[in-house]
Amino acid sequence: MIRKLISDDPRVRFEEPDLPKARKREMWHIIRKATVKKNPARFLPSPRARMWILGAAAAVAAVLVMLPLLDEKPGEKEYFTIRDIETDFDPTVGDVLLKSGDRTVRVEADHADVVYESEGKMTVNSQEITPKREDAEEKREIEIDQLIVPYGKMASLTLDDGTIIWVNSGSKLLYPSTFADDKREVFLIGEAYFDVAKDENRPFTLMTDGLNVEVRGTSFNVSAYGNEPLQTVALVSGNVDVRDEDGKMTCQMAPDQLFSYNRLLGETGIRNVDVEEYTSWIHGYLLLRNESLDMLFTRIGRHFNVRINYDPLQMRNITVSGKLDLQYGIGKALETIAITAPITWVEESGEVAVELRSR
Amino acid sequence: MLTQFMKADIINIWDRFRQKDDEAFSMLFETCAEYLYRYGRKFVSDDDFVRDCVQELFIKLYNNRASLSPTTNPRFYLLLSMKNTILDALCKTRRMTYLSPDDLPFVAEGYYLPEDDTPEVTMTVTGRKLKLALETLNARQKEAIYLRFQLGLSYDEVSKMLGINYQSARNLIHRSISKIRSTVDTPDNIVKNARTSK
């Protein structure tokens, strides 16, 4: 944890007990039951999603039969505990970090391109690195690598199965350095676009804090930031099954659909969208359709790693549409937004304050 | 995390929470649960008990959210509420009518936070001396140091957490720091002698 020292700091610290993520989730469920949802429906599909579930009942049954493993053998150390890896990080500082085996690679460039080749070889921005790993014999668990992308940075990642992942600013991706023989599982906090290589024998599962997205060969975008209750999955091609982490709800998605899950209210929904709105960021621009300024400022603040101060309640009701180029800096981006939205802003000591323009 | 960024964020979340924004409630829990739990564990070692207290605190906050006041440091407010929640819960379980904050001793292992360029040898030596220095501090002094330097509260806030006035809090912290400094800065052999003569 990065913390500024106070000048007379005696450099004494006290041990802090750990609050495991699983415990924290339990606590939140109890609090939510007693407050937001007095009537505890853990996962309430929207009418539309419910229809899907009925329609796809056979498929759901099949999937549920296929996956009883998740709840079985609770004592055994399953790789599934990837969810419980400490995922806290400060996205506002630092460079792109790649943690692999005993190596931590820091990438100073704004874009990191990481490629896992065969036999444990890998390259970062075309430079070869070879992390030392435990001997296969000693290895009991699968080694988990981490890619941390702070605000203002982006990364692309090619895994050893040929899957390509674009990781957006303020995100953390966990994945095994080599996939197992029977499954491919990765965990995401933040936003990423996935182009998953087809492999009939090894289903690909993307996990977020709350959802599992099960994939065969396909491309899709997932947004699951830790500080936002809304998570979305936008499917570009192929098909995916989205389920909640307890496996109680499953929803099949078709291309050009957006699945959304509100972690707080436990509500899900599915609708048809122009998926380009959700994937354009990998090309350096945002395609916006009735995007609220509240959400938009959050997105570009992350992209440029600039704190944008505004009244969220005021900005939530103003929407903009169009193509917003992110290549020319935050000032230019705000200028573009201001063509249609009634805003003014001042930049001061690295922060931006946005207000409504008075007439 | 204590960056300016997070600080402004938490005020924003707090205000939205008071305006009955359910999303903000979830974010408040997301950002604050850990440090409230950790602070609580300094007084009670039973982790189930502390987790129950955090839950109770958030449920109480939710039910009273409309009457909460704006604050420039929600963290301080939450820490203080956490301490009171623990006191109340202890009163109930021990069937006591009153527990003073002094009946809640702050217990935690301390360690030395090295500077980036500290050589390893110095680190272990200083670390050992520091352990010794910490033994001479009482629970209140430890708590004051924790609140001020680990959680970054202001002197004013520390004084309110400990139920003493501003000047007393300053003195308490300064006395503790000079106690630590004098032990840490003492040459090695003297510390050793002090230990054997003990």
Same structural domain, B86 and B169: no
Among A13, A92, A265, select the one facing B5 at the smallest CB separation. Answer: A92
Q: Which residues pair with A156 in a beta bridge?
A: A113, A166
Distance from CA of B127 to the nearest CA of A (A): 9
Same structural domain, B181 and B138: yes
Same structural domain, A246 and A345: no
Give the tens place of pLDDT for each residue, B43-102: 998 999 999 999 999 999 999 998 898 888 899 999 999 999 998 888 887 766 666 766
3-state secondary structure of A10: coil
Among A249, A273, A297, the domain-final residue is A273
Give the whole-angstrom CA distance, residue B162 versus residue B145.
Answer: 11
User: CA dist A201 to A67, A183, A215, Å?
Assistant: 14, 8, 12
Tell me what pLDDT residue A85 has: 62
Identify the burial level of B109 via C-beta atoms within 10 angstroms of its C-beta, where 0-12 means exposed, 13-18 middle and 19 or more buried. Answer: exposed
Q: Are the Cβ atoms of B3 and A229 closer than 8 angstroms?
A: no
Cβ neighbours of A263 in B, within 8 Å = 26
Same structural domain, A269 and A297: no
Judge whether residue B158 has pLDDT over 90.
yes
CATH number of the CATH domain containing B145: 1.10.10.10
Same structural domain, B94 and B8: yes
Among A12, A30, A226, select the one facing B55 at the smallest CB separation. Answer: A30
Q: Residue B61's domain spans which residues?
A: 4-103
Q: Are the Cβ atoms of B37 and A8 closer than 8 angstroms?
A: no
Q: Which phi and psi (to 5°) does residue A262 adopt?
A: -95, 110
Tell me what pLDDT residue B126 has: 78
Q: Are the Cβ atoms of A27 and B111 closer than 8 angstroms?
A: no
Residue B170 token pair: 């300053």
- What is the rounded average pLDDT of the residues B171-185? 87
B18, part of any domain? yes
- What is the rounded average pLDDT of the residues A154-181? 90
Q: Are the Cβ atoms of A227 and B5 closer than 8 angstroms?
A: no
Same structural domain, A240 and A308: no
DSSP label at A358?
P
Residue B120 token pair: 């390893």
Cβ neighbours of B30 in A, within 8 Å = 226-227
3-state secondary structure of A273: coil
Preferred mutation among B19, B113, B155 to probe A, highest tally of A CBs within 10 A:
B113
A232, part of any domain? yes
CA atoms within 13 A on the CB side of A207: 19
Report yes or no: A82 and A141 within 8 Å, Cβ to Cβ: no
Q: Which phi and psi (to 5°) does residue B173 adopt?
A: -70, -45
Q: Are the Cβ atoms of A14 and B142 closer than 8 angstroms?
A: yes
Lowest mean pLDDT: which of A33-47, A191-205, A339-353, B128-142? A33-47
- What is the rounded average pLDDT of the residues B18-32? 88
Same structural domain, B95 and B61: yes
- What is the rounded average pLDDT of the residues A330-354? 90
ipTM for this prediction: 0.86
Tell me what pLDDT residue B183 has: 80
**Token match 């007379």: residue?**
A8
Strands A267-272 and A44-45: parallel
**Token match 């415990």: residue?**
A23
Report yes or no: A354 and A309 within 8 Å, Cβ to Cβ: yes
B112, part of any domain? no
Tell me what pLDDT residue B192 has: 52
- What is the rounded average pLDDT of the residues A91-98? 86
Distance from CA of B135 to the nearest CA of A (A): 13
Please report, rounded to a whole number, the percentage of residues in chain A having pLDDT higher than 90: 26
Same structural domain, A115 and A263: yes
Judge whether residue A190 has pLDDT over 50.
yes
Tell me what pLDDT residue A66 has: 31
A4, part of any domain? no
A114, part of any domain? yes
A346, part of any domain? yes
B110, part of any domain? no
Q: Are the Cβ atoms of B25 and A1 closer than 8 angstroms?
A: no
Tell me what pLDDT residue B132 has: 81
Same structural domain, A297 and A242: no
Give the whole-angstrom CA distance, residue A100 versus residue B83.
Answer: 41
Same structural domain, A260 and A309: no
Same structural domain, B93 and B128: no
Lowest mean pLDDT: which of A63-72, A92-101, A151-160, B95-104? A63-72
Same structural domain, A203 and A93: yes
- What is the rounded average pLDDT of the residues A60-66? 32
Q: How many structural domains compose chain B?
A: 2
B129, part of any domain? yes
Among A90, A229, A265, select the one facing B1 at the smallest CB separation. Answer: A90
CATH number of the CATH domain containing A243: 2.60.120.1440
A31, part of any domain? no
A25, part of any domain? no
Tell me what pLDDT residue A1 has: 39
Same structural domain, A243 and A289: no
Judge whether residue A4 has pLDDT over 70.
no
Cβ neighbours of B134 in A, within 8 Å = 12
Distance from CA of B121 to the nearest CA of A (A): 17
Q: Are the Cβ atoms of B149 and A12 closer than 8 angstroms?
A: yes
Same structural domain, B60 and B87: yes
B144, part of any domain? yes
Q: Which residues pair with A305 in a beta bridge?
A: none
Q: Are the Cβ atoms of A36 and B5 closer than 8 angstroms?
A: no
Q: What is the mean pLDDT of chain B?
A: 83
A298, part of any domain? yes
Same structural domain, A213 and A335: no
A33, part of any domain? no
Among B103, B136, B165, the domain-final residue is B103
Size of interface A-B (CB pairs under 8 A): 115
DSSP label at B104?
S
Among B52, B75, B103, the domain-final residue is B103
Cβ neighbours of B39 in A, within 8 Å = none
Residue A152 token pair: 């203002």
Q: Residue A257's domain spans which residues?
A: 44-133+141-273
Lowest mean pLDDT: which of A28-32, A95-99, A248-252? A248-252
Among B71, B103, B135, the domain-final residue is B103
Measured in whole angstroms, how far is the alpha carbon of residue B4 from the centre of its chain?
A: 19
Give the whole-angstrom CA distance, residue B158 versus residue A193.
Answer: 46
Q: Are the Cβ atoms of B58 and A265 closer than 8 angstroms?
A: no
Identify the burial level of A95 via C-beta atoms within 10 angstroms of its C-beta, where 0-12 means exposed, 13-18 middle and 19 or more buried. Answer: middle
Same structural domain, A169 and A200: yes
Same structural domain, A209 and A295: no
CATH number of the CATH domain containing A352: 3.55.50.30
Q: How many CB atoms lie within 10 A of CB A200?
A: 7
- What is the rounded average pLDDT of the residues B161-190? 84
Preferred mutation among B20, B28, B37 to probe A, highest tally of A CBs within 10 A:
B37
B109, part of any domain? no
Preferred mutation among B11, B26, B57 to probe A, highest tally of A CBs within 10 A:
B26
Give the whole-angstrom CA distance, residue A352 versus residue A306.
Answer: 7
B190 — pLDDT class (breaks 50, 70, 90)? low
A174 — pLDDT class (breaks 50, 70, 90)? very high
Tell me what pLDDT residue B157 has: 93
- CA angle, B16 then B22 then B26, to 5°: 95
B59, part of any domain? yes
Q: Are the Cβ atoms of A4 and B42 closer than 8 angstroms?
A: no
For chain B, what is the radius of gyration of the CA atoms? 19
Among A245, A273, A301, the domain-final residue is A273
B131, part of any domain? yes
Cβ neighbours of B19 in A, within 8 Å = 313
Judge whether residue A74 has pLDDT over 70.
no
- CA angle, A307 then A16 then A149, to 5°: 35
Q: Are the Cβ atoms of B30 and A8 closer than 8 angstroms?
A: no
Q: Are the Cβ atoms of A264 and B146 closer than 8 angstroms?
A: no
Q: How many structural domains compose chain A?
A: 2
Q: What is the mean pLDDT of chain A?
A: 79
Same structural domain, A168 and A69: yes
Judge whether residue A61 has pLDDT over 60.
no
